[in-house]
Amino acid sequence: MKTLQTPHQEENLPEETSAIRLSHPSDGVAVISLESSPLGVLRHAVKRGLKHTLNELETDESVRCLVITGVGKAFSVGSDIRDFSQEVGWLLENDYVEADLNQAIEDARFPVIAACNGFALGGGAVLALACDFRTASHSARFAFPEVSVGAFASGSGTQRLPRLVGRGRALDLLLTGRTIDATEALLYGLVEYVFEDDEMMEKTLALATQIAGMPAGAITATKRCVNVGLREGMPSGLLQEMALRVKTGRGKDALEGRTAFLEKRPPVFNRD
């Protein structure tokens, strides 16, 4: 599988994107690899780089699914504690930058998959929670250890985790800071797939390619309706469904899907 890569360092790129590798392994699929050292650490600059790259992908209509992953032994171990400050401005900025990035991932027009190749800890685990669903290698490990250093899983972690795993399990993980393996994460609903280490990216990319092959308008509408319903309640979600049902139902892809079904042939969806 040929991969087109953005160089690690390029003079015309913002400094903060130097830890972000962007590739396009298949039609419609983009991959962001976190290459910040050590272990995918999420410094301010890396978070800004992620947001910058995400904004660029939003305007690229050829991208229909995004995978975020790490390198080596870690997806991301979260923020670097050595960067922390007790200054009020720094604390507020750190929380804003992280929460803003995670909200942008949730609101992206395309699905975002977290491919957790190793340790996903603290802010790295919260980053994975912001994605639409998560795959994990068998050796992946997950934890929210912030309480052990006198902090908590801010940046939206205390809100996202209970919505995935329930209040009791979320508080267990958040209050103890304990580490769980991929099997337990799957049992909890923290991840949706667990793959063998050497197959994780291949199988995740297969899922992404399958999604990218679907009509983009229907995929975007589905994601938006689910998110609105979860955030604002079922009545708002149903209103969003009604509004987007007309838009998608009158589109070229809906016509092609119906025609192909009646003609007993594979549909050819619009890729413009």
Give all domains of the chain, ordered by start, each with its CATH number. Answer: 15-212 (3.90.226.10), 216-262 (1.10.12)
Query: Which pLDDT does position 12 carry in this prediction?
Result: 42
Categorize the per-residue pLDDT at 272 as very low, low, confident or very high, splitting at 50, 70 and 90.
Answer: low
Kindly state the percentage of the chain with pLDDT values over 90.
72
Give me the pLDDT at residue 27, please: 93
In this structure, of 8-12, 58-62, 225-229, the range with the lowest mean pLDDT score is 8-12
pLDDT in tens, 89-98: 777 777 788 9
SS3 readout for the chain: CCCCECCCCCCCCCHHHHHEEEEEEECCEEEEEECCCCCCCCCHHHHHHHHHHHHHHHCCCCCCEEEEECECCEEECCCCHHHCCCCHHHHHHHHHHHHHHHHHHHHCCCCEEEEECCEEECHHHHHHHHCCEEEEECCCEEECHHHHHCCCCCCCHHHHHHHHHCHHHHHHHHHHCCCEEHHHHHHHCCCCEEECHHHHHHHHHHHHHHHHCCCHHHHHHHHHHHHHHHHHCHHHHHHHHHHHHHHHHCCHHHHHHHHHHHCCCCCCCCCC
Give the pTM: 0.89
5-36 residue pLDDT tens: 333 333 344 445 678 999 999 999 999 999 99
Indicate the average pLDDT of the chain: 89
User: 248 or 116, which is more confident?
Assistant: 116
